[in-house]
Structure 1
């Protein structure tokens, strides 16, 4: 049952990732272009050149902000990574019964019995 649920979650995460692949690429390109534009802005000494680089930077940043919902695709990629890691994980949850000394209720019952004597 666990593998079936992981498989279904993996299919959903893969579909979300594929649906957001284009915006994720555009976001990466806009971040890269913003970096290049910032470097050119710092190198430029003329005022007209700085104004041009600011305008170009604002255009590229607006493209990046428009594709900011592609973070959902990154979350789907992270989900696929965790599903991939947990696929062959055979760690079953084992509940160990506490010993008589560690059980708080046994200790309480002993103390209650001592008080009533």
Structure 2
């Protein structure tokens, strides 16, 4: 019964994800506008260039925030991904913890070199 519920939830999420592909693409374009505006804002030296790039970034931000179906589509894609990974008995890690200690990284790399 658990597998039936899992597959039916995955099927419904997949239908929602396919139905909302266009808003997700619009959300991607809005994000690209926002990223381009912020990039050119940091690279610009003139005041006019900074103002124009902020206008582009603001347009991308407003467009992205108003695209609620795009966010619903992203959530549906995430659910389909989670169900696919759990079906294959793979562990799904949203945020992985990395060890940033330079000595631990050195020891691991040294052990890999000595193999």
Relative to the length of structure 1, the TM-score reads: 0.62
How much has 1:19 moved relative to structure 2?
Answer: 2.1
Indicate if the aligned counterparts of 2:35 and 2:57 stay in contact, CA closer than 8 A.
no
How much has 1:17 moved relative to structure 2?
Answer: 0.7
The 1:50/1:88 distance shift into structure 2, 3 A limit, reads: closer
* Number of aligned positions between the proteins: 89
Tell me which residue corresponds to 2:63. 63
Please give the root-mean-square deviation of Cα atoms over the aligned residues, in Å.
Answer: 2.1
Distance 2:7 2:61 in 1: 37
Indicate if the aligned counterparts of 2:41 and 2:50 stay in contact, CA closer than 8 A.
yes
Deviations 1:6-63, CA, capped at 9 Å, x for gaps: 2221211011111221121221222222112112112222222222222222112111
Gaps of 5+ in 1: 90-117
Distance 1:33 1:80 in 2: 27
Q: Of the two, which has the highest radius of gyration? A: 1
Indicate if the aligned counterparts of 2:20 and 2:70 stay in contact, CA closer than 8 A.
yes
Higher relative contact order (CA closer than 8 Å, sequence separation 6+):
1
Gaps of 5+ in 2: 90-115
Relative to the length of structure 2, the TM-score reads: 0.63
The 1:20/1:46 distance shift into structure 2, 3 A limit, reads: same
Indicate if the aligned counterparts of 1:27 and 1:68 stay in contact, CA closer than 8 A.
no
